[in-house]
Structure 1
Amino acid sequence: MSLAGLLLGLSFSGLASAHFAAWHKGMYCLNGTIRGEDDPDTNAIVNPLFNLTKSDWWFHAYNGCNELPPAEGDFLELPANGNFTVELAVNRAFTTLSYGGVRVAAFGDGENYTNGLGGVDCITELNIHTQNESMAAGTAFAISYQSDMSAVTPENLVVFTTLYHTPWKRLATYQVPNLPACPENGCICAWGWVPNGCGEPNMYMQGYRCKVVGKTGSAALAPAAPATWCEGAPGSCTKGARQMIFWHQLDGNNIDVSGSDSHGDPKSPAYNSVLGFAEGAQTDIFMNDGTASATSVAPGRPTASGTPGVQNGAWSLWRCPWYAPWCLLFFLGGLVVSLVEDF
């Protein structure tokens, strides 16, 4: 970690409800940045990446998140030709991965905003870098058919799905194309987001251990090329497999834009049509049929609750702060269930 990365980490250490991550048991940095400790209130992975060297921004390395893989056997599972769901939240506390899920709500900060959220001005209640849902820039997942993160490169990390108008609500479901099977030890995946205005022009990059499940495809992924700005000119879009968006860093950038977009705002690259990304599964990312072996991969065991992202044993009463009222409620609820089962 460089000095710049350390200072960035310290500058964000006091923020409890800033920015977003896509939470799932298969993610890196799930438990925070202290090895061997599980922090149910961690937000270490949500901090944005801006003006850093590649050695610091690549897979959120500046605070060591790239060196903290998920528990053995935990993967983000990608059903070929299906979909998967993650939780977009500002802190793990507001997901089903902490406190038994008692603090979750419609949005990723534990609130429901029943009176509505958003309008014409930038939203301040929730640091989501947009004015409303329709203007949310979009997010994406990419996959590399490498099992070791050190072998992942921009060229072998291919965007395979996008979700327009996100981040917005907590639950986000992404479509999966006909991906081939991963190596025996799994693949490396990444989630990305580039906000469109309403604050610093930064980016997000978050890592996962992932694997493709179900009846898998028989075509390998092509090498990824940088996307290009093509708003209103689809013929000039980069075709085929595309890289994630890397911009406004000290080095390692793969796109630069200037001028104004069709709305008169400063151009900002995004995982949507302005760079030629269709919404949903990216079906133009493959080499010829037969370049991979089709097979069938069984999914892992179901989660304890059946809720997307919740891992068995992800939370227990012993990790709960004694002073937290939701912990008392969780304990009393568990006691009632236990008594009913015994009866």
Structure 2
Amino acid sequence: MRSALALLPVPIFLARLTVAHLAAFNKGMYCLNGTVAGQPDVNSGDPVTPLWNLQQSDYWFHHVNKCDEFPPAPGDFLELPAGGSFTVEVASNQGLTTLTDGGKHTSEWPDGQNHPEDYSITNLAGAPLSPSGCIRNPNMHTQNQSMAAGTAFAIAYVSDISQVTPDNLVVFSVRYNTPWKRVTSYDVPANMPACPEAGCICAWNWIPNGCGEPNMYMHGHKCMVTNATSTTPVAAPKPPVWCEEDQSQCVQGAKQVMVWNQAEGNNIAVTGYDLAGDHKSPAYNSKCGFKDGAQNDIFGNASNGTSSRKKRMTHKVKRAGLFF
């Protein structure tokens, strides 16, 4: 069925995608052009499938439909300029990005359609509501931009995707109030060290704030840090915690990507209601201790416990008369 659809003109196939989910598209992504060997699908929606109640072997880097088995072309990377920013296209289908047909079917929005600048459930301009009372097209799992949960990029300093684990994949950039528009930029910490010669592995991550099935999204990219000047490695990440009510309880320093509502491997759990009175949902924002923009505290000498431990040890040595 997929190969037949891939041969259809772009507009015919895209007309069926009005309730599709979202992913971050770029030339360094895994499963660019689909997941059927020898049959490029420029209308691919493979990366956008939500992840819910899966084994770790399936949700990790979107293995559930073999996305992780289709790396980008040799030499194609998502470039991360240290101290700068990079841009991806958040869309419900590859055909709605500039990666297909020169971007003839793109708009400012992930679904290729036109919507009001202040798009919301009270200003839909004729678009339908989702069954849960949220924006349906694009399927951003929100009622308006201010309620969009936030998305994140994480990095592992290994070149083989099979070597990435929760313990070496570090969130390095967060963008509040996304997903929203198609063109989305993320900031890179200035102290990001260079990747191995064959590149690093990155992941785009998102946990929607309600509005339907409580799922998550995780999709892989081959990435390369450019203009790197620092050699300080990223620290080992810790699982985030819910800390909306008391920011002093937030995990400081390098943090793992959040795994939620899966059959195994979950590293965050929430119950009850948030301060807005809605059911709690983990998110890449201040509710779970993530700042908007570059995560500048993720390095080995950052304020993540490493520096303070070193200072305490040095102080003890001085007091013992052993410092010289």
TM over 0.5: yes
**Does the 8 A contact of 2:192 with 2:228 survive in 1?**
no
**Does the 8 A contact of 1:80 with 1:217 survive in 2?**
no
The amino acid of 2:41's aligned partner reads D
Does the alignment pair 1:265 with 2:267? Answer: no
- Residue of structure 2 aligned with 1:93, choices 92, 95, 103: 95
Match of 2:17 in 1: 16
Q: Any idea what SS the aligned residue of 1:215 has?
A: coil
Alignment of 1:1-80 (within 5 A): 16-17=17-18, 18-80=20-82
**Residue by residue, what CA displacement relative to the aligned partner does 1:82-130 show, whole Å, maximum 9, x if unpaired?**
0000000000011000011111101011112147521354112321100
Alignment of 1:202-281 (within 5 A): 202-281=215-294
**Residue by residue, what CA displacement relative to the aligned partner does 1:42-100 show, whole Å, maximum 9, x if unpaired?**
10110100001001100000110011000010000000000000000000011000011
The list of structure 1 runs, each at least 4 consecutive aligned residues, that deviate by more than 4 angstroms after superposition, is none
Match of 1:109 in 2: 111
**Does the 8 A contact of 2:89 with 2:97 survive in 1?**
yes
The amino acid of 1:170's aligned partner reads R
CA, structure 1 residues 23+115, in 2 after alignment: closer, same or farther (shift >3 Å)? Answer: closer
- Superposition RMSD on alpha carbons, in Å? 1.4
Once the 2 structures are TM-superposed, how far is the Cα of residue 143 of structure 1 from its aligned partner?
A: 0.2
Moved more, 105-114 or 88-97: 105-114
Moved more, 16-25 or 190-199: 16-25
State the distance in 2 between where 1:220 and 1:76 align: 20
The amino acid of 1:134's aligned partner reads S
**Does the 8 A contact of 1:142 with 1:161 survive in 2?**
yes
State the distance in 1 between where 2:120 and 2:250 align: 31
Unaligned runs of 5+ in 2: 1-14, 123-132, 303-324
**Does the 8 A contact of 1:19 with 1:48 survive in 2?**
yes
Unaligned runs of 5+ in 1: 1-13, 290-343
**Does the 8 A contact of 2:111 with 2:137 survive in 1?**
no
Determine what percentage of the aligned residue pairs are the same residue.
Answer: 57
So what's the TM-score if we normalise by structure 1? Answer: 0.78
The amino acid of 2:249's aligned partner reads S
Match of 2:193 in 1: 180
CA, structure 1 residues 115+190, in 2 after alignment: closer, same or farther (shift >3 Å)? Answer: closer
**Does the 8 A contact of 2:58 with 2:64 survive in 1?**
yes
**Does the 8 A contact of 2:34 with 2:44 survive in 1?**
yes
The amino acid of 1:25's aligned partner reads K
**Residue by residue, what CA displacement relative to the aligned partner does 1:120-164 show, whole Å, maximum 9, x if unpaired?**
541123211000001000000000000001110101000000000
State the distance in 2 between where 1:105 and 1:240 align: 37
State the distance in 2 between where 1:252 and 1:68 align: 24
The amino acid of 1:23's aligned partner reads F
- Residue of structure 2 aligned with 1:288, choices 295, 301, 311: 301
State the distance in 2 between where 1:81 and 1:213 align: 9
Match of 2:8 in 1: none
State the distance in 2 between where 1:229 and 1:282 align: 18
State the distance in 2 between where 1:38 and 1:74 align: 17
**Does the 8 A contact of 1:180 with 1:218 survive in 2?**
yes
Q: Any idea what SS the aligned residue of 2:47 has?
A: helix
Does the alignment pair 1:156 with 2:168? Answer: yes
**Does the 8 A contact of 1:189 with 1:207 survive in 2?**
yes
So what's the TM-score if we normalise by structure 2? Answer: 0.83
Q: Any idea what SS the aligned residue of 2:287 has?
A: helix
**Does the 8 A contact of 1:78 with 1:211 survive in 2?**
yes
Once the 2 structures are TM-superposed, how far is the Cα of residue 288 of structure 1 from its aligned partner?
A: 2.7
The amino acid of 2:67's aligned partner reads C
State the distance in 2 between where 1:163 and 1:15 align: 29
State the distance in 1 between where 2:117 and 2:80 align: 35
